[in-house]
Copies of this chain bind each other. A is one copy, B any other.
């Protein structure tokens, strides 16, 4: 019999409503897993065992009635919480108590979610890593910036966590940790109470271990009724294979796995076309970096002027300095290109159900000093499209690798359906990956 910590969100909630699991039992089991594993993985910045168990008992007693009735979850430590410290991945804000929950936390708790604690973030959601290790091999990075959120879910410490993505901060760590990651359409999930990085691009995302769970989390966060997944037959799909201008940055193994997978889609009857995105060349990366640098350096104004010695050198002398060296005119030129390109990309996706592309350049790199390369993610974050990573592959070092699915903006539900179809085909061995 499975331990409760093994449950996906959907499985656990079904067990609770079926009377075979209590919320307290689920939460306690997650903490057992955390106790067993977190000395190695270091996914959590702060844990509130006592508070979480008390909340769980209350839900067991009263019943929450909400979509998330009893669901244990974790949130990245750049997301504010009323009752737990939020340090934004920086020593500057050590012990800071924000006084209110971010919207995504308040809504999930109101729906019956039980917050276990705060997961490790890189410094202000940028690159400088926290202490988290890859659960599959602690000598490797978990990715970032939602490092702890990805590691905790990938390692079965919690079924669901929230992160944020400004470059590749949900999709990449989820892929590295063997979890499912989801970056919604820009603007779908209100970011109030989240420390901003690049407000024009920042997106709250979710990490789970099933596609059904993503759909559940979206319903929770949008306060809508659960919508049943309707996975289409692969043969109905019009799939774009997008190598991207960054294809040669991907490992040979990644190239091979993705290409093979795309061939499987075609064998299953899908229409597969090689596609290029209008106006996205290697320079597009610079567009993202320019907008992000300009905004990020302003977002951290208080820290810049009052405690810049406590910012990491890579942040202070890298992205922040670049941002301060960018003129308003140059920033706006890039920002306006993005604004138009988002709309053009909607049109591009009208003829396409989904686009497939790598989730990252390969397996999680060895070492903890970098969180890996986000080159396969920043395009979608900047364009505001929804993206999902599915843990379909295993690399030469035995570490997980992801296939990234991307849809047009506002088509997140359709993307779930397709992701579910792909997972089902994968589970049946139909994608010989």
A335 CA / B223 CA spacing, docked (Å): 18
Q: Does A93 sit at the interface, judged by CB under 8 A?
A: yes
Partner pick for A190 among B93, B98, B106, B301, CB 8 A cutoff: B301
Is the CB–CB distance between B187 and A302 below 8 Å?
Answer: no
Partner pick for A324 among B98, B223, B304, B335, CB 8 A cutoff: B223
Is the CB–CB distance between A192 and B298 below 8 Å?
Answer: yes
Closest CB in chain B relative to A317 CB, distance in Å: 18
Residues of B within 8 A of A300 (CB): 192
Q: Does A277 sit at the interface, judged by CB under 8 A?
A: no
Is the CB–CB distance between B103 and A299 below 8 Å?
Answer: yes
Is the CB–CB distance between A192 and B110 below 8 Å?
Answer: no
Residues of B within 8 A of A340 (CB): 343
Is the CB–CB distance between A100 and B303 below 8 Å?
Answer: yes
A179 CA / B295 CA spacing, docked (Å): 30
Q: Which residue of B lies closest to A222 (CB)?
A: B328
Residues of B within 8 A of A82 (CB): 302, 306
Is the CB–CB distance between A298 and B103 below 8 Å?
Answer: yes
Is the CB–CB distance between B193 and A103 below 8 Å?
Answer: no
Partner pick for A328 among B107, B191, B224, B304, CB 8 A cutoff: B224
Q: Does A252 sit at the interface, judged by CB under 8 A?
A: no
Residues of B within 8 A of A107 (CB): 298, 301, 305
A222 CA / B224 CA spacing, docked (Å): 40
Q: Which residue of B lies closest to A336 (CB)?
A: B410
Most buried by B among A82, A105, A106: A106
Partner pick for A192 among B96, B196, B222, CB 8 A cutoff: B196
- Which A residues from 198 to 225 make CB contacts under 8 A with B? 199-200, 222-224
Is the CB–CB distance between A101 and B302 below 8 Å?
Answer: yes
Most buried by B among A191, A200, A302, A304: A302
A190 CA / B331 CA spacing, docked (Å): 13
A301 CA / B191 CA spacing, docked (Å): 11
Q: Mark A81-113, 1 if CB is under 8 A from B, else 0.
A: 010000000000100101111110111011000
Closest CB in chain B relative to A216 CB, distance in Å: 16
A93 CA / B97 CA spacing, docked (Å): 13
Q: Does A309 sit at the interface, judged by CB under 8 A?
A: no
A199 CA / B199 CA spacing, docked (Å): 9
Q: Which residue of B lies closest to A99 (CB)?
A: B96
Closest CB in chain B relative to A253 CB, distance in Å: 39
Q: Does A339 sit at the interface, judged by CB under 8 A?
A: yes
Closest CB in chain B relative to A373 CB, distance in Å: 27
Q: Mark A305-330, 1 if CB is under 8 A from B, else 0.
A: 11000000000000000001000100
Is the CB–CB distance between A103 and B199 below 8 Å?
Answer: no
Q: Which residue of B lies closest to A88 (CB)?
A: B100
A191 CA / B194 CA spacing, docked (Å): 12
Using a CB–CB distance below 8 Å, which chain A residues touch chain B?
A: 82, 93, 96, 98-103, 105-107, 109-110, 187-188, 190-193, 196, 199-200, 222-224, 295, 298-306, 324, 328, 332, 335-336, 339-340, 342-343, 410
Given A192-B299, A193-B302, 11 more A-B residue pairs with CB atoms under 8 Å apart are A98-B98, A100-B302, A100-B306, A103-B298, A103-B301, A105-B302, A106-B304, A110-B305, A190-B196, A192-B199, A223-B324
Nearest 5 interchain pairs by C-beta:
A190-B298, A106-B302, A103-B301, A106-B301, A110-B305
- Cross-chain pairs A/B with CB under 8 angstroms, 19 sampled: A82-B306, A93-B99, A98-B99, A100-B302, A100-B303, A103-B302, A105-B302, A106-B305, A106-B306, A107-B305, A110-B305, A187-B200, A187-B335, A190-B295, A192-B199, A192-B298, A192-B301, A339-B342, A343-B343
